[in-house]
Amino acid sequence: MTASRSRPDTDHYAEIEELGASPLWRYYGAIFDSEPRSRAVPYLWGYQRLRPHMLHFADALSLEEAERRVLMLVNPGMTEPPATVNNLYAGIQIILPGETAQAHRHTANAFRFIIEGEGAYTTVDGERVHMHPGDLLLTPGWHWHDHYHEGDGPMMWLDGLDYPLTNAMEAGFFELYGQRLQKPATPDDLSSRQFIHGRLNPTWVPRNPVNSPIGNYPWTETERALTSISDDATGSLYDGIMLEYTNPHTGGPVMPTMSCRISRLPARFDGRAHQHTSSTIYHVVAGEGRTEVGGTVLQWGPKDVFAIPAWAPHRHVNASTGDATLMSYTDEPAQRALGFYRERPVD
Amino acid sequence: MTASRSRPDTDHYAEIEELGASPLWRYYGAIFDSEPRSRAVPYLWGYQRLRPHMLHFADALSLEEAERRVLMLVNPGMTEPPATVNNLYAGIQIILPGETAQAHRHTANAFRFIIEGEGAYTTVDGERVHMHPGDLLLTPGWHWHDHYHEGDGPMMWLDGLDYPLTNAMEAGFFELYGQRLQKPATPDDLSSRQFIHGRLNPTWVPRNPVNSPIGNYPWTETERALTSISDDATGSLYDGIMLEYTNPHTGGPVMPTMSCRISRLPARFDGRAHQHTSSTIYHVVAGEGRTEVGGTVLQWGPKDVFAIPAWAPHRHVNASTGDATLMSYTDEPAQRALGFYRERPVD
Amino acid sequence: MTASRSRPDTDHYAEIEELGASPLWRYYGAIFDSEPRSRAVPYLWGYQRLRPHMLHFADALSLEEAERRVLMLVNPGMTEPPATVNNLYAGIQIILPGETAQAHRHTANAFRFIIEGEGAYTTVDGERVHMHPGDLLLTPGWHWHDHYHEGDGPMMWLDGLDYPLTNAMEAGFFELYGQRLQKPATPDDLSSRQFIHGRLNPTWVPRNPVNSPIGNYPWTETERALTSISDDATGSLYDGIMLEYTNPHTGGPVMPTMSCRISRLPARFDGRAHQHTSSTIYHVVAGEGRTEVGGTVLQWGPKDVFAIPAWAPHRHVNASTGDATLMSYTDEPAQRALGFYRERPVD
Amino acid sequence: MTASRSRPDTDHYAEIEELGASPLWRYYGAIFDSEPRSRAVPYLWGYQRLRPHMLHFADALSLEEAERRVLMLVNPGMTEPPATVNNLYAGIQIILPGETAQAHRHTANAFRFIIEGEGAYTTVDGERVHMHPGDLLLTPGWHWHDHYHEGDGPMMWLDGLDYPLTNAMEAGFFELYGQRLQKPATPDDLSSRQFIHGRLNPTWVPRNPVNSPIGNYPWTETERALTSISDDATGSLYDGIMLEYTNPHTGGPVMPTMSCRISRLPARFDGRAHQHTSSTIYHVVAGEGRTEVGGTVLQWGPKDVFAIPAWAPHRHVNASTGDATLMSYTDEPAQRALGFYRERPVD
């Protein structure tokens, strides 16, 4: 090794640094950890405490100023860049009667889950989709969408997006439509009417393997599903009666990176603990209970939102005498698509 | 070529025949035709004329004698072996109150579409599935199934099977269960209750890519689907508002070889003609109309069954002032799976 | 059941026959058998006995008369329509120096496996593909192909087609090119040169999931594969060192209905018996041995062809002191695509 | 909105911050950009300048101290955490005769591309895989691997990993084997010998859709592929004669997140510019040329490594009179799996 021996005084660490190189042996532990430690922390956002502020900003800030009037639910462990859990984001949006949120599109996949109000609709690629509490509306990546509220009283919903993933993948695009609102190009709510009943697919609609063609998964149907599955159903020891919203053309998740779910925790449900590499965000549709995440206990009630970090051991408990209903979404499809998904029970 | 010249008297045709060989040049036209000519013919089976005979045999023949009490609808062009169209079979089965049809299973995929009666159920791999007019019940290949009728009055349904294909593939197996009836192993109608509403999939049910896990696609849901798609829907120029029953785990056909469909031909529907390599069997749920198949005109009314051969140009017409509703099934999935499916408009 | 009781003299069997209906209970056994019984029989075609007749017809019959000059190897159990085993056909084709076989295409998938001669080529969709003994050449469904022999001496090869399946599916089309020969549209043998080495795929060639884009799987590579797998390889108890020719875009079979394989039975190979719903045709590339099919023993030597019917128990034995090399093809992909494939050991 | 008007003095921004919420309208631009701007910069690592330092550390640092003796090639724009481009990492590893790198496994997918030396092997899940310059060796996620060098002189190779993606997904696991080296469990280099020739798949090896079962894609085969594709091949306007290493069971990339490629830029190749959301790392196998990335010009020669950030417009030029050969890898499979991949020409 004459080359190196010749100049014993050389500071090789400094010199390789200049060449854009670093010694792996000094980073090893940081790079290869025995198991994932999420930057996110278990956290709960209380709806009742946020609501007054939503109303304030609805009052104080016009939708012309704010592209969208949304409170981001930022995980204390993930403020830079802001995210709710790894790969996923949750926000609460409010729109007032007569207001419009202008048309745009982005690579990020999005959905809305309606919390309060009646009479608004979103227009997605030319189809008006009307909103009712409990409805799940999809805005898959790169679909034009704008909102309009023709009802009375404020309208509030949960926004779910995967922009943290989109941006981490350095794959995010954004575009304005040009005009404030799209013109309807198809009959209102057509996609839902065509797909929602009886597992029947219209044969004239081209197959879309990327994302669900359904604009709205209405609460009326979701509720029928939950009630038609009596408690004799097996369900999951971890998640209770958990149903996944599906793409009618694949039977898979509604969007390639996010799975949206609705679950019922029967009265006295005492869930078993497990952990998985996917991160999860929950929204409480109805009922009360708690979720134990590692040492943290999240006590949740109606309309609250809470976050479960990747690989965090967790279990759900419904100690009440009534059912609890939870809407949730997760990056499990992304984890699986990359071959990274792992799950295991925790004793 | 001394070898051959040496014996001018040799009868080569006779000699190769002895060796199990034949001259391709004498078979060429028979083997390679410019386009498919089905052995099947366009044909209609009038329900009202068959019904009295069904009742007669119900009376005259016990289910102990007949493994199943079914009138096969045999295409005049496909009597040996008997089939309704290429690859597919249709029959009309009748079962009386108190009767049981013993448990068996076969490789052939099967479904029933209920025509008349109430109060019977079929047990499929341990799940009791109750029947109502308009319901589509599945018995995928190699699933145990038996029938029991606890209602009043005769119960009649259409049986659809792919046994002609199974047998042509030399892949057919058949087995008796041993006892006459299966014992219920799951709650009644569970699979339907778990899958039928809102495009929601139970997350605890293992994915089944081969065939639909749904025991029954109830008419109540099918009807809601048809009515929720108002006439503003595009539909198909050939088939009107045609919906396909799907496997919730794939979005594809309910079974690997057969696609089951329901279609609405609006009043005054004047369909365009097309042809495809798949064969089709239709059952009229309601309404009246005609289907022109090549030069043949099939005038159909309620509960009739009719057959459209492979590659036969055909068009549907509903000249009446009311909607017509047709249930149909086809071997299109088999054609596609083998790379043989072809379709084109006919002017 | 007054309807039927009222006319005790009615011959219901005759009347339903007139209505196109038949009593299932009289056909049951014929339709639902406990297991498949192939119409095909185990059979061997001795190459040395067929060869002189090939040469005779080459002499006596011009290619203008015979669209193709081929001896069909017809299974004694499947003469009408003629097939070698269920779904599959084998023939031996001969072409003389200077001859051309005119361009046509058909739905049926085809391949050639070269037995004797040098200097001929086939042109497939504009690519000239040259033939050498042991090469596997593909002509997937609906690809134009013609043959030209510019070498010396007769050229003979095995033709493998799935036309029995294509016709049974009533999906067969045939078309003449118009001119006798295609003009080359790409460099000679390009597809093989682009795909054959090192599992590397050209990134500019569009993915073809239906059939392999490779025109020729040359014997030189096949031989290297066989020799590079020393006898330390596990192989199969039933089939020895069996390799499947694959579609580089899927890793699956070269065509949607047929799998083509090459296998080496080491000296003293004493195969275990099994049975499967797929049918198989073998061509002996080199070596000698026997295959026991049920009670039948097929003694085979170089260039012979033999047939194994669906579900027939069979085992291969190489009692000699040298390796035996077998080319084979089967309808297993079709069986699997339809969900019908079944296989089991036989003790 | 009395709720809010009632307390005009409230600092709503401060209060929502306490509740874990932030105003989206103040982050909008940062989150939704018109197009991706990678944190990575175009960069080149000169092999000749790094080599002496590699030799020094080989001399100064034992493999007992360093888990692996590797210089990480860290992109100046991506130092925290360290990565070479988004999602991907490149390092140069050196091992001396007689040295061992102990057995471990990690979720991250890895490969080695051999640069210098002979006589070392890596053991992957019990199979010894020998290394030669130009060979591509795979260590898919969670496969045990250790290295041993029994040759003379230092051995150097390029390490490619997706750990930045694995960690960004919060899905990374790491485990030590327990003993320093694995015991061979299969014949040496078996997987390569079984899969590398003639597109033939061993039928007894279970299908692996996740990652390639091939341990080594030897340079000898890669070179034959490149030479067998003469310059009459179309190739790509952007990338020249670019071939992708494939998984023989899918025809897709060798691992779910990374595609490995080899490309030949013919003499005088003057590539067209394009941009894509995937990031790319290049290693120069032979030849000289330049790559223009936006305004930056990367002049490259033998054994250099260079990085092209996501969505950066870039073109390759080989102004020399000889071919240039480049090995490269990209996160395109991950981009596609998530539905984010986008590509376009740049004029």
Residues B177-201 pLDDT 10s = 999 999 999 999 999 999 999 999 9
pLDDT-based confidence at residue A5 (cuts at 50, 70, 90): very low
How confident is the model over B264-278, as a mean pLDDT?
A: 97
How many angstroms away from the CA of C259 is the closest CA of chain D?
Answer: 11
User: What is the rounded average pLDDT of the residues D179-207?
Assistant: 94
Q: Is residue A11 part of a domain?
A: no
Determine contact: A342 vs chain D, CB below 8 A: yes
Q: How many pairs of residues across A and D have Cβ atoms under 8 Å apart?
A: 271
- Determine the length of chain D: 347
Based on the structure, what is the number of domains in chain B?
1
Domain that holds residue B251: 39-345
Q: β-strands A145-149, A100-106: how paired?
A: antiparallel
Cα C142 off chain centre by: 17
Q: Which residues of B touch A232 (CB under 8 A)?
A: 187, 190
A230 within domain boundaries: yes
On the question of pLDDT at C322 being above 90, the answer is yes
Band of pLDDT at residue B232, cut at 50, 70 and 90: confident
Dump pLDDT digits (tens) for A186-199. 999 999 999 999 99
Residues 258-317 of C with CB under 8 A from D: 261-262
Nearest chain A CA: its distance from D76 CA (Å): 7
- Helix boundaries (H) for chain A: 2-5, 12-18, 28-31, 47-60, 163-168, 190-195, 219-228, 332-337
- Asked whether residue A289 is assigned to any structural domain, the reply reads yes
Q: How far apart are the first and last CA of chain A?
A: 54
Give the mean pLDDT of chain A: 95
Prediction ipTM score: 0.95
Contact B261 A203 (CB under 8 A): yes
pLDDT bracket for residue B9 (50, 70, 90): confident
Q: Do C187 and D228 touch (CB under 8 A)?
A: no
- Does a structural domain hold residue C311? yes
Residue B303 confidence (pLDDT) above 70: yes
d(CA C21, CA C5): 20
Q: Among candidates B33, B35, B114, B42, which has minimal Cα distance to B280?
A: B42
Q: Between C and D, how many CB-CB pairs are < 8 A?
A: 143
pLDDT at residue B119 above 70? Answer: yes
Kindly list the partner chains of chain A, i.e. chains with 3 or more CB atom pairs below 8 Å.
Answer: B, D
Interface test with C, best of D200, D244, D285 (most C CBs within 10 A): D200
Predicted confidence band of residue A234 (pLDDT cuts 50, 70, 90): confident
At A153 the pLDDT is 94
- The pairing of strands A43-45 and D89-95 is unpaired
Is D14 near chain A, with CB under 8 Å?
no
Kind and range of the H or E run holding D14 = helix D12-18
Which letter does DSSP use for residue C58 in this model?
H
- The whole-number pLDDT of residue B46 equals 98
pTM, whole model, 2 decimals? 0.95
Give D311's pLDDT tier (boundaries 50, 70, 90).
Answer: very high
Q: Using alpha carbons only, give the angle D158, D160, D162 rounded to the nearest 5 degrees.
A: 165
* Beta carbons within 8 Å of A58's beta carbon, 6+ residues apart: A69, A94, A95, A96, A154, D1
At D260, the amino acid letter reads C
Q: What is the pLDDT of residues D256-308, one digit of tens each?
A: 999 999 999 999 999 999 999 999 999 999 999 999 999 999 999 999 999 99
Instruction: Give residue D8's pLDDT.
Output: 65
User: What pLDDT is attached to residue D7?
Assistant: 60
Among residues 66-85 of chain C, which lie with CB inside 8 Å of chain B? 66-76, 81-82
> Higher model confidence: residue C83 or residue A29?
C83
Mean pLDDT of the B218-223 span: 97
Touching D (3+ Cβ pairs <8 A), the chains are A, C
Range name among B110-119, C22-31, C226-235, D212-221 with the lowest pLDDT average: C226-235
For a pLDDT cut of 70, what percent of chain B falls above it? 97
Q: Which helix (H) or strand (E) holds D226?
A: helix D219-228
Say if the Cβ atoms of D167 and A23 lie within 8 Å. Answer: no
Residue numbers in D near A15 (CB within 8 A)? 53
Q: Is residue A30 part of a domain?
A: no
Q: Which residues of C18-41 are buried (b: 16+ CB within 10 A; e: fewer)?
A: eebbbbbbeeeeebbeeebebbbb
* The pairing of beta strand C324-330 with beta strand C259-265: antiparallel
Q: Give C-chain residues touching B170 at CB under 8 angstroms.
A: 36-39, 86, 277, 279, 309-311
> Is B9 part of the contact surface with chain C (CB cutoff 8 Å)?
no
Name the residue of chain D whose CA is nearest to C135's CA.
D198
Q: Which of A265-279, A319-333, B63-77 has the lowest mean pLDDT?
A: B63-77
Supply the pLDDT for residue C7: 61
Note whether residue D30 is domain-resident. no
Task: Please check whether residue D258 lies inside any domain of the structure.
Answer: yes
Q: Is A195 on the interface with D (CB under 8 A)?
A: no
Instruction: Considering only the beta carbons, identify the residue of A16, A56, A60 that sits closest to D50.
Output: A16
Question: What is the rounded CA–CA span in Å between residue B100 and residue D244?
Answer: 61
Could you write out the DSSP letters of every residue in B177-236? Answer: -SSSSPPP-S-TTHHHHHHSBTTEEETTSPP-SSS---SEE-HHHHHHHHHHS-TTS--B
Residue A262, pLDDT score: 98
Q: Are C223 and C165 in contact, with CB atoms under 8 Å apart?
A: no
Q: Does residue B269 belong to any structural domain of this protein?
A: yes
Mean of all residue pLDDT scores within chain D: 95
The single-letter code of the amino acid at A251 is: G
Contacts of B203 in chain A (CB under 8 A): 236, 239, 242-244, 261
pLDDT of residue B8: 65
Reading the block at residue A312, the tokens are 């965090």
Distance from CA of D274 to the nearest CA of C (A): 15
CATH number of the domain at D114, please: 2.60.120.10
pLDDT at D234 over 90: no
Lowest mean pLDDT: which of B32-46, D118-132, D220-234?
D220-234
Q: Does the beta-carbon distance from A245 to B214 stay under 8 Å?
A: no
Residues making up chain C, counted from first to last = 347
Contact (CB<8Å) B198/A200? no
